[in-house]
Amino acid sequence: MAHRHHKFLPVRVALSPTQCATACGLHYDRDIKPAVESGTLPVYLIGEPGALRPRRRVIVADLEQWLRNNPQLIKRVCKR
């Protein structure tokens, strides 16, 4: 049996914490930053091998779960 090679590499869909705030219509300093600092919104360091500094990224699935766990944030966005 021949070894199967995948045509496409797996892709992580991730945003920076500030991009998360923009995408959700939330305030970075009031909503996203405290969640990142408390650990309720997980942030990963993602970077290319040999890069000087890895970038902080929030995986979109984690962002969606965090919003589902905090429905008061969704209500506040919908009222705008």
DSSP 8-32: S-----EE-HHHHHHHHT--IIIII
Domain ranges of the chain: 14-78
Average pLDDT over residues 10-20: 84
- Token reading at 25: 């219509």
Residue with tokens 């979109």: 60
Judge whether residue 37 has pLDDT over 80.
yes
Judge whether residue 11 has pLDDT over 70.
no
b/e burial code for range 51-66 (CB count within 10 A of at least 16 → b): eeeeebbbbeebbeeb
